[in-house]
A and B are shown apart, each in its own frame.
Chain A
Amino acid sequence: MCGIVGLFLKDKSLEPELGAMLSSMLVTMTDRGPDSAGIAIYGASSGNSAKITIQSARPKKDFSGLEAEMEKELGTEVSIDIKSTHAVVTLPKDRLEEGRAVIADLRPDIRIMSSGDAIEIYKETGLPKDVVSRFAVNSMAGTHGIGHTRMATESAVTTLGAHPFSTGSDQCLVHNGSLSNHNNLRRELKREGMTFETENDTEVAAAYLTAEMAKGKNLGEALEGAVDDLDGFFTFVVGTKSGFGVVRDAIACKPAVMAETDRYVAFGSEYRALVNLPGIEAARVWEPEPATVYFWER
């Protein structure tokens, strides 16, 4: 059992409240997954800059002086905004890949949670309420976001085993369920050049979608492929820079409820997660069909 929440805003006036709305939805799903929690938030992308969200088990030591050292290595302006065990590195868009390599070189213990124009990922072990307050998710603005509360089954309760998983620029995925062909698929994806941080099944699903999209598929097409190629139980919610998608396996035993109004599209593992959303009483509320891809793009 795990809990998933997601929110894709259509109404710009809600964007300053995205973090607050998602936090409240996430905390409601605590009893579906009290082990760890995580959130991916897509903020406004600002012209020529890109963001790398990094995480460290020893943030004081690893983040100290990193900004200056990166500026020196890259020869360009870098800013680092520290949020507890995570930090968001902002740098010129055309130096993103180089920036990732410099971080790996300067601080080998730092883990990269996400990188891209708009995405930031924060995840930690602990109760969802503690995780969202630690990163001040309440005050975050954005266009869309995905949250997850984890009850671990397939790998250990660690920061890196928490969701969301991001395996490509501005991409992320959360999962309720368990995959049975992830080891085989991981081997195949490794052969195609994908790299993995964990032994987790969900990371394989994320990498699968990244690899499919790298071959030219859009998110919807990649999700169609997942229905055939992934074996096991899953309700996935995925995010890209401009899109938000949902797919469930053909058995569809992992719960899912969606709601749509003129102002937003929302996802919850249970209806409980949606009850505080504005105008929910009049929203179209439905259960996504099995083996059917839903996605919204702006």
Chain B
Amino acid sequence: MPTFDLAVTPLRDLNQALHDVASGDNDLQFDVVNPRGHHAVAAGVHAPVSIDIHGSVGYYCGGMNEEAVITVHGSAGPGVAENMMSGRITIKGDASQYAGATGCGGLLVIEGNASSRCGISMKGIDIVVRGNIGHMSAFMAQAGNLVVLGDAGDALGDSLYEARIFVRGKVESLGADCIEKEMRAEHIELLSALLAKAGITDARPEEFSRYGSSRKLYNFNVDNADAY
């Protein structure tokens, strides 16, 4: 059960130890203390380890994560869980810009608020935010689910592809080609599962609205020029 104190241990030592975890290893619980806003904490992990980070982190925490379960007991700087492939990252506090950007899989749970561009270009990741999200979230999002229990900022889902967005609060404005869609039984079922997975028990799927692409901007068509 290794503990890394980033006040005295170089970040590279932590990340190297995490990258060195081999299949069959059984010491899979890591604790990180004094992260003090360091960049790239636990980035590039590709093993089923469990990492508890006690404090706030800077840029790109948990980037490219595969299989690891990472919990940040604090807030995260820009680009947390960027390009995550699988596993789970939980942020107990707030997350800065572009949380979960380009994520391909896994689950990102933000228990506080996320700022602008949350889930930008997401490609299969599931993101659940207990608080609010900022402007331009899910911009060009291709696949996956973005669930927001609070409010969404301006231009939600601009130029959206096939990602699904569920918002419980109010949406400041929708981006180009993003529209509100009917919540059918299959969406209630999907959302129930996502909320359960994120450990959220105080929100009912029926309270959410669903947003998605109106699919006018996939290919250029002069008849849709006004949609840009």
Interface residues of A (CB under 8 A from B): 250-253, 255, 257, 270-275, 285-287, 289-290
Contacts and interface: CB of A to CB of B under 8 A. Distances in A.
Contact of B97 (A250, A255, A271, A274): A255
Interface in B10-67: 36-38, 56, 58-59
Given A255-B96, A271-B56, A285-B75, A290 B135 contact: yes
Contacts, number: 41
Interface of B: 36-38, 56, 58-59, 75, 77-78, 94, 96-97, 115-116, 134-135
A255 B60 CA distance: 13
Contacts of A252: 97, 115-116, 134-135
B58 to A, nearest CB: 6
Nearest to B56: A271
A252 B96 CA distance: 11
Contacts of A274: 37
B38 A272 contact: yes
B75 A290 contact: no
Contacts of B75: 271, 285
A271 B77 contact: yes
A257 B93 CA distance: 14
Contacts of A287: 94, 96, 115
Given A271-B77, A285-B75, A287-B115, A253 B97 contact: yes
Contacts of B59: 270
A252 B118 CA distance: 13
Given A255-B97, A286-B94, 18 more contacts: A250-B135, A251-B116, A252-B97, A252-B115, A252-B135, A253-B116, A257-B96, A270-B37, A270-B77, A271-B56, A271-B58, A271-B75, A272-B37, A273-B37, A275-B36, A285-B56, A289-B134, A290-B134
